[in-house]
Structures are given as C-alpha cells and as structure tokens.
Amino acid sequence: MTPLLSLRHVSKTFGSGPRAVHAVREVSFDVAQGECLAVVGESGSGKTTLANMILGVFGQSSGEIWFDGKGLPIRRTLEHRSAIQLVQQNPLSSLNPKRSVGASIRLGLDVFGIGARSDRWRLVEDALEEVGLPGNFRRRPPAALSGGQCQRVAIARALACQSRLVILDEPTSALDVLVQARVLRLLEDLRRVKGLSYVFITHDLSVVRNVADRVAVFRAGRLVECAETRAIFENPQVDYTRQLIGAVPVVADDELKLRESLSGGVPE
C-alpha cells in the first residue's frame, strides 16, 4: 500500500553562505494511512520547520514530498491544503480573538468550498459536536472558552475541512494534565473513527508512548532514529533517544525502573 505521506531526502536551509542555517537535513520517512507518527526532539531540532514544509508554508530546499502517491508541488492546490491541516500548540493564539469560533471553523469551509453554502453552519455545528462541544458554542468568541475547549475548536476546524493528514504541533503542551488526558483521548477516537493520519510533534515522551505507532527522533535537523514506539522505548539505539527518555519526569515506580535501566542520564 502506498503511504499517505512520504518524504525523500528533504532538506531545508535558511540563508546562504557561511551563516546559512541547515534546519532540516536529508530527512526521509513515511506516514501510512491511519498511522500516528510522533516527531520528537528538543527545541531547535527542526520539528516545526518540517511541519511547515509538509503544510506548504514554505518549500523544501531539496528533496521530495509525496502525498497519496503524487508529488506535492511547492505551490499547493486547494485540495492539498484542505487535506493537510494543522493544530497548533497554543489554541488561544491560533484562533482569531475577534471572530466567533464558529466563524473560524467556517472560514475553511468557505475557502475550500465544502458543502452547500446554506448548509455550512450545520457542518460547523456538527464539527463542534464531533469534538464534544455543544453546537451553539459556535457563536462564542475564543476568550469565552477554556484552554481545553479552544483546543477542541482547533481540532474541529482541522477536521471540518475533510482533512486526511493532521499535523499536531504540541497540541497538549499548553494544557493541564487532566485536560490533556481528555484531548488525547479525543484525538485517538477521531483517528480511529475517521481513519486520519497524524504527525504528532511533541517533546513529551510519555504522551508519545501512549498515542504513537512509530516515533521519529530528531536532533539538529537530522532524523537520528525512527522505529516502532515499543522498540524506541524498550531498546533505543541512539544515546540521544536514551537521554530524551531519561529526562521525562515520572510518577510511578515501574517508570523509574525503566528510565534507570536506560540510564542515559541528564545531558550536561
């Protein structure tokens, strides 16, 4: 089966000459239909640059990105743009504060021409209900919603566009642990029901362990390790992965044991 998304030797360089920044270097990986691939790494490792290239915010410097068996052009068609959607870290700043949340969701429907014009408010309400919010929330501004509710709206907005691949850029880092648990559960359920694929960007490895099928570990723009989630946690091949797992704050004793068995230690 062809993977939904594949990257082949993708690089991105900002600037040129001696001061050029090589944000992403020679990265290749696939994301299958319905799969959740976690992209982990510290700040500055190129995770977000990667997301921006997949989304088409800017083009790659070299290499190819394939979507659904076809090469993705740097200038995306409407179809590509609606199929690949983004959920950002901070929902309060990713939603327009002057628009009702319903208008924010509807904007995508209008731009991509989804559904009949007269039918679109109903689609917006359906999308809200799908993420566990009452349909009449569409009239509210983001400021009248809690952080967790806003993140649900951001998810609804991504889904309403009939997306097939959702890039989740630290979707729960700004949320409390109880709210995080609910949003993660929602994302899992939606993936199963709708057969979505996720690229889940995060630095929280305990979240990764529980939601991802495979993990891609980034460091300084390079893909240093890519494997099944279980393999990454039980038998990491690279020291850096061990360090990342070693840095996760844990609550249970068996987690402590696992962490100590890897004994990467905190990097100096």
Q: How far is the CB of 222 from another protein (least distance, A)?
A: 16
Residues between 151 and 180 that touch another protein (CB under 8 A): 176-180
Backbone angles phi, psi at 95, to 5 degrees: -100, 140
Does 228 interact with another protein (rule: CB under 8 A)?
A: no
CB 22 within 8 A of CB 35: no
One residue of 3, 132, 141, 147 binding another protein per CB under 8 A: 147
- Kindly state the smallest distance separating residue 224's Cβ from another protein, in Å: 14
Q: State the nearest-atom distance from the C-beta of 191 to another protein, in Å.
A: 12
Binding mask 42-81 for another protein (x = CB under 8 A): xxx-------------------------------------
Span from 36-44, 63-71, 90-98, 113-121 in contact with another protein (CB under 8 A): 36-44
Among 12, 138, 157, 203, binds another protein (CB under 8 A): 203
Helix or strand run (H / E) with residue 122:
helix 120-130
Of 103 and 258, the one with the shorter C-beta distance to another protein is 258
3-state secondary structure string, 64-82? Answer: EEEECCEECCCCCCHHHHH
Distances (CA, A) of 251 to 40, 161, 212, 259: 21, 39, 21, 11
Give dist(CA 200, CA 169) in Å, integer: 6
Backbone angles phi, psi at 167, to 5 degrees: -90, 115
Task: Show the CA angle centred on residue 128, arms to residues 85 and 184, nearest 5°.
Answer: 65
Chain residues that interact with another protein, rule: CB under 8 A? 42-44, 147, 176-182, 184-185, 188, 203-207, 209-211, 229-230, 233, 243-252, 254-255, 258-259, 266-268
